[in-house]
Amino acid sequence: MPKTASEIASIISTLEKLYPEAGTELHHGTAIELLIATILSAQCTDLRVNIVTKTLFKKYRKAKDYLAASQEELENDIRSTGFYKNKARSIRGACEAIISDFGGKVPDTMDALLRLPGVGRKTANCILGNFYKKAEGVVVDTHVLRIGRLIGLTKNTNPEKVETDLMKQVPRDSWIKFSNLIILHGRAVCRARKPACEICAIRALCDNGRKAGKVR
């Protein structure tokens, strides 16, 4: 069953009480740092990324710094995040485009961000929402995709289709915080291996909870 506007508002308000400081957990101080951290976060935990970037961001401060290093050097610096060869190529490609096409500044529009190598809608939405405070879409990571399906906000498995479903139902002024709240809830309670439905504050609004007989 599709959720009503009041049900979605209840989900958001309930999660806001649980996670009042909700935001991206990727440490950053600049747009380029958030871009790099988000690229590194693919199939890697935010905790590991933050460990790596604590040193990385002291060595590389601007887009030109990533190009001054060799591919191999950058690979070694980010090796522990996994898939380091592809990530290093994406980082260098994005930085090259930032310098050649955008005057050394990370762009602040969806169309421009999607022109950067290694940047898809998830990364673009993360930067636009968390750094530029622009709601152009909804970040759909594995938590948002999985929990969106469990709650009953989407039946899709394709991230872009899931994003479309969420954008239709979640008010635009809640797009940024919605994904941050869901991500935190996925890490704390609605975990992939074993969702803790018995202590979930939004279980009464979750289709999965009802189907499993966990909500009377």
Which residue among the candidates 77, 122, 165, 177 is catalytic per the annotation? 122
Which residue among the candidates 77, 87, 141, 177 is catalytic per the annotation? 141
Q: Is residue 141 annotated as a catalytic residue, yes or no?
A: yes
Between vectors from CA 193 to CA 40 and to CA 119, what angle results, nearest 5°?
20
Tokens describing residue 157: 């498995």
Asked whether the beta carbons of 181 and 16 are under 8 A apart, the reply is yes
Q: Is residue 122 annotated as a catalytic residue, yes or no?
A: yes
Tokens describing residue 39: 């690229």
Buried/exposed code over 172-204 (b: 16+ C-beta within 10 A; e: otherwise): eebbbbbbbbbbbbbeebbeeeebebeebebbe
> What amino acid positions are annotated as catalytic residues?
122, 141
